[in-house]
Amino acid sequence: MIRFAAYVCRRLALALPAVLILSVLIFLLQRMLPGDPALALAGGENVDAQTLGELRHKYGLDLPVYVQYLHWVGGALHGYLGVSMRNDIGVTQLLVGKLGITLQLAFASMMLALAVGIPLGIVAATRCGRIADVLATAFALCGISVPHFWLGILLVLAFCVHLNWFPASGYVPFSEDPLRCAMGFVLPSIVLGTGIAGVLMRHMRSAMLDALSADYVRTARAKGLTETRVVLRHALRNALMPIVTLGAIEFGQLLAGAVLTEQVFSIPGFGKLMVDSVLNRDYQVVQGLVLVSSVMFLLVSLAADMLYFVINPRLRS
């Protein structure tokens, strides 16, 4: 247990400089983008130079870049990430509001991907070269290859316009209407989940094939264990190691927002916010979003490492 705690502390300590370097990168890369945020904010309106100057002053854009950075980092350490230039809402408030939506979508998609990808991978490996393997591999290939945007539109046309089973777009908070909230996530989760399920299935199949040809599996069979027990108890546990890593990466990416899926289904998550904020040069929002997404990614990676401890006894020793 002490070894485990020390391991977690060491990982957290390593994450701190990573976040700091990341904050500098986020800030500088933003400033290197062409386009004047004040002009973008005013858009094509008939505004004069005085108004543009006032907008720059209001959002601190007239300060030297290093001063802007220090203000931002100072605020971030106190939980204040600035104000959105587009709608004058606090960035922290904005992100907190969207975090729940992004998490719901990410969890739903990941659950679907795991529920489909892992069993299919196991079936494909245990029925290698047979029809079940071919079908599972074809499913994985389709899941990976089909563009999310296209699949989303097809699902909307079929299940929303013609069958009217699900809402075509939008988000309803769980607190307001749990049923509508759940219904709203079904199609987006299918779109995101099938892609990840395809990836997981291929890796699961490959890892299971390796495990099934290992000596310890042969020994288990020789001992007279049932095939189900050999597969689920012995081979699966070892084959899950790469899946944990892969799952963590995929889940981390989902937490950064699924741009196209959110766009198709008009789900107000991180991805949609990121695209709009970059296009509008809403610096504070982009900085806050990237920072929060990165920290979440680091936390997910840490959680995956911790899971290794649970799955792999060798690490504990």
List of residues contacting another protein (CB under 8 A): 34-37, 39-51, 54-55, 57-58, 83-84, 86-89, 94, 97-98, 101, 153, 156-157, 160-161, 164, 167-171, 173, 177, 263-268, 272-273, 276, 279-281
**83 phi and psi, to 5 degrees?**
-125, 140
Of residues 72 and 171, the one with the C-beta less far from another protein: 171
Give dist(CA 145, CA 123) in Å, integer.
Answer: 21
- 90 bridge partner residues: 83
Give dist(CA 141, CA 136) in Å, integer.
Answer: 9
CB of 179 to another protein, least distance (A): 9
Of residues 16 and 28, the one with the C-beta less far from another protein: 28
Of residues 47 and 244, the one with the C-beta less far from another protein: 47
CB of 74 to another protein, least distance (A): 19
**Burial (CB count within 10 angstroms: exposed 0-12, middle 13-18, buried 19+), residue 223:** exposed
**And the tokens for 239?**
């084959």
Cβ atoms of 37 and 281 within 8 Å: the answer is yes
CB of 195 to another protein, least distance (A): 19
Of residues 167 and 195, the one with the C-beta less far from another protein: 167
Of residues 259 and 311, the one with the C-beta less far from another protein: 259
Distances (CA, A) of 108 to 1, 103, 214: 32, 8, 34
CB of 144 to another protein, least distance (A): 23
CB of 98 to another protein, least distance (A): 8
